[in-house]
Structure 1
Amino acid sequence: MGESNYIIQYIQKNREHLVNEWIDKLNNLNEKNISNIISDQGFANICNEYINLLIYDYNKEENAKNRISSFTQKLIQLGWTLSFIMDCITEFGKIVFFHMTKDDSEKKQMEFVWDYDKWISPINNKLFSQYAASWQKTISLQKIALEELSAPLIPVFDNISVMPLVGTIDTERAKSIMGNLLEGVVKYRSEVVLIDITGVPVVDTMVAHYIIQAVEAVRLVGAKCLIVGIRPEIAQTIVNLGINLNQVITKSNLQKGIMAALEMTNRKIVSTEE
């Protein structure tokens, strides 16, 4: 293994005992939401994987980096926070220190701390760095997915599309909505677009301003825009705020909006006799 490998050798030789003691420590840590949903066997698997990382990385195995990446991804999926992971690894270091130096002099204990910091800490730092990178990547992918799903323009009939909005609308999201809206109008050759705000909890002056901008932008690319999902409480808020939507066609629900859109495109729904 190389210089100062006695720590790794001790960990390998006493793995089972160290893991069992480590599990007891983990169960007493503060993050009860984690310790309550993972079994002792689950903790044991994670502990053993961590020890494997120490062994493979210390031996400069070629796939050590991939093992660290895979391990951190698993921790993220389990919902382990970086602070909890650091606490866990700190506890493991304390356990190893106690058993390996309990009968040693202060000088020997300091030598152990030096060797541990020299050989084990760099591996831990790699683990922390990889966790941070994996977490950031996961968050970025989730953000992209949410942005793609947050304001889709859905074609429902020829030349008629619907954009359902759900959740709070802020400046950043309004820009995304506007971009998706205009791109969708051109892509689907929409003549009429319905913006459904049923799922928008609050329509204040700022949100109304964004809606008016969207309506005007759609008009400029040659289409018409209807706002649907005007609930009674939303209508009352709009009136109380003095927001002027006189130039905007509004309907109380999507069904009425679809009927209006069909009329605007010279179509209508008729019932047929069997």
Structure 2
Amino acid sequence: MSQDFKKIVIENSDSIVQMWMSEINSLKQDNYTANISDELFESTNREFVNVIFTSIKNQGSAKVVEDFSEKIINLGWPLSYITDGLQVFRRVSVDYILGQSVKVDSAHISDVMKSVDVWVEPLIRQLVNEYSGSWEHIVSLQRVALQELSAPLIPVMDRITVMPLIGTIDTERAKLIMENLLEGVIKHNSEVVLIDITGVPVVDTMVAHHIIQAAEAVRLIGSTCILVGIRPEIAQTIVNLGIDLGKFPTKSSLRKGFTRALEITNRKVIDLEDNDESIEKMIESLRGE
């Protein structure tokens, strides 16, 4: 933007902002911002226009643009809010400058439009890039969080851990299950791992193959894997598909699997009665007497 036009925009910022706010507000009822409160919409618009004028003055605009883009993402507003706002500002600025001109011809109009574009286009690219970068970063963090939650390994007792699986198991998730399983077994020094498939809706050949691979990998590092949560329909599907799960223990419920895990680790559940004799027997049992 030429210095003359830039000076006009800065010196008449109040009038231009008023025109811009008026046009932006008129769009509210017809687009994605219709359900946003008037207070939030107006405060965000004022912050937006402040970003625009900070950029034209070149006063720390990079940080301001970055913060504003991140705020729009956190609000859940689409990228079109930014692009629409800048297009409106482009039109308002051109109209205002032309309205202040004494003589208007095609050459002058072209000069004004080119000058405005020289400033607005870089700002559009900067805002879009910051928005996209922030969005990709947030999506990346969410993906990592979901992956961690999709295959958790929970230590429930010394040398016993549980991996509850919920939802569909695809190849990518199966790889994650394998990695978390092996890392967790070593980290928690687990002798027994209970893989609970109660929340897995379908167990087909591929899912069973992945589970068998995981169980075999656990066996190779010196631990035992117990498959629990086998519902009747899942058992029937496994039989019909001819899947061999005979290499590692299976139980119908987590409770039964946990009882088996205690036996493997030379422990058991003892029911205590409220008398001295029962307590004495428990102590003797724990001492191996």
Q: TM-score by structure 2 length?
A: 0.85
Aligned counterpart, 1:35:
34
Q: CA RMSD in A?
A: 2.2
Q: In the comparison of the two structures, how many residue pairs are matched?
A: 269
Q: Is the 8 A contact 2:152 2:163 kept in 1?
A: yes
Superposition deviation, residue 131 in structure 1: 0.6
Out of 87, 91, 101, the position equivalent to 1:90 is: 87
- Retained in 2: the 8 A contact 1:26–1:88? no
Q: Which residue is 1:46 aligned to?
A: 44
The 3 A distance-change label for structure 1 pair 60 and 99 is closer
Return closer, same or farther for 1:177/1:49 CA change in 2, 3 Å cut-off.
Answer: same
Spell out the pairing of 1:68-217 with structure 2 (5 A cutoff): 68-98=65-95, 100-101=97-98, 105-217=105-217
Alpha-carbon shift at residue 101 of structure 1 (Å): 4.3
Question: 1:15 pairs with 14, 17, 30, which one?
Answer: 17
CA shift for structure 1 position 241: 2.4
Instruction: Indicate how the Cα distance of structure 1 residues 243 and 88 shifts in structure 2: closer, same or farther if over 3 A, else same.
Output: farther
**Distance in 2 between residues matched to 1:120 and 1:98, nearest whole Å:** 15
* 1:272 match: 272
Per-residue CA distance 1:106-147 (angstroms, 9 max, x = gap): 444333321221112211211111111111111111112222
SS in 1 for 2:146: helix
CA distance in 2, matches of 1:205, 1:83: 45
Cα deviation digits, residues 150-178 of structure 1 (max 9, x gap)? 21211111110001112222212211111
Task: Compute the displacement of 1:9 (Å).
Answer: 3.9
Residues 100 and 193 (structure 1), Cα distance of their counterparts in 2 relative to 1, 3 Å cut:
same
Task: Report the AA paired with residue 113 of structure 1.
Answer: M
User: Which moves more between the two structures, 185-194 or 15-24?
Assistant: 15-24
**Structure 1 residue 267: Cα displacement:** 1.1
Stretch deviating more after TM superposition (122-131 or 212-221):
122-131
1:166 is matched by which residue type in structure 2?
I
Contact persistence 1:219–1:225 (CA under 8 A): yes
Q: Per-residue deviation at 1:100?
A: 4.9
CA separation in 2, counterparts of 1:239 and 1:84? 56
The runs of 5 or more residues in structure 1 that have no matched partner are: none
Is this contact kept in 2: 1:195–1:228, CA < 8 A? yes
% identical equivalent positions: 48
Q: C-alpha distance in 2, partners of 1:129/1:66?
A: 13
C-alpha contact 2:93 2:116 (8 A) present in aligned 1: no
| Equivalent-residue separation in structure 2 for 1:105 and 1:116 (angstroms) | 17
Give distance in 1, aligned partners of 2:40 and 2:93.
Answer: 21
Q: Could you tell me whether the CA contact under 8 Å between 2:51 and 2:65 is conserved in 1?
A: yes
On the 8 A contact 2:225/2:249 being kept in 1, the answer is: yes
Give the AA of the match of 1:195.
I
- Structure 2 counterpart of 1:87, which letter? D
Unaligned stretches of 5+ residues in structure 2? 275-289
1:227-260 deviations in Å (ceiling 9; x for gaps) = 1111223223222322222223211221111111
TM-score, normalised to structure 1, is 0.89
Determine the structure 1 residue equivalent to 2:58.
60
Which residue in the other structure is 2:281 paired with? none
Give the match's secondary structure for 2:213. helix
- Quick check: 1:23–1:40 contact (8 Å CA) kept in 2? no
Name the SS of the counterpart of 1:266 in structure 2: coil
The structure that has the greater radius of gyration is 2
